[in-house]
Structure 1
């Protein structure tokens, strides 16, 4: 299918995620650098934003980004590992929640918030478990272990499961990932690293965001 046909076939909860195509996974050392990093990402053209719970005061950061940008960004919370974090993030304004792995208790709590839920998995057995829980999409993590070829292999037995690989995604291989069947992609250190945030290298983050945004445009035009 063409990218537009694939988008039309998605569940409503995933449309905004697919339109964003790239979700910047922000792991910041403090709230100030998280906010400035998000400003740089949005200026560069990346509007999918995931604030991880490894960021101090993650819920406060989410609330402030929601206040600043509203619907101009697709805002979510990542590294969600407890039911309390799921509820807190949703209350702060997160429109999607992402876990690195999955337990039944966590999955049910995340789905109970009414947000779009991406549950973490890697193996086929884990994909089956996540799908049975009712996740809107499966976060393949760490996707760098298998690359786009592994995603293509998973798509064989699971052609109808929406996958969002995270790890090992950069502007050069973005098109290969999307062409291998990813609904969207999570990009962390390759786009907005904790080291760059700590050092205040916001112009570099903005430049990389421009590169990712351009790679998405080129893939869609191809």
Structure 2
């Protein structure tokens, strides 16, 4: 049976990774091409696949083995809780905090009039100082406007909301794969060719009153999501 060279190269790279630890240098493209007896383009494509999967990463002029992806639960827990559960240090960088009017879809999701001012909070999400996500949160200002005076945007928004006595009831989420815009790629220190996981969420409290609409973009090479399912 004639096994395709790309498959042989990818299998060989997987074997090399099995013998390395996080942070170890990965062999350069030229060395790998000579080892497997293939063109450098074949090796380059296999390395790109590993980059997208988050198993290796560029560091300076070289390539090293990545640390495991941050696994986020699909639940009404905050990003902070998910990061800490994996022993990672969460952080946030404020990009935008403004009061704006939004399109009809977001206004309807928040149950506000199209002319109402909505609080928009945009932050870069960090794990151990590595940029892994870009989160845009829309909150009804008539309900959460006082956060402007009391909330530290580098901390957990969910904790601040819960501290006000608001109890999350449920959320609807949709996840899909997208490519980032040039601005998004720059904020995430990535490229427009790196696939991202786009999460759209609408959360309501225990009385069904809207809390937030969220658009969160996560680096596909840095983050994975998991859910616990049952048949009840």
TM bucket normalised to smaller: under 0.3
**Whose Rg is larger?**
2
Between the two structures, name the one with larger relative contact order (CA 8 Å, sep ≥ 6).
1
Normalization by structure 1: what TM-score? 0.24
Q: Which has the higher helix share?
A: 1
Q: Which has the higher strand share?
A: 2
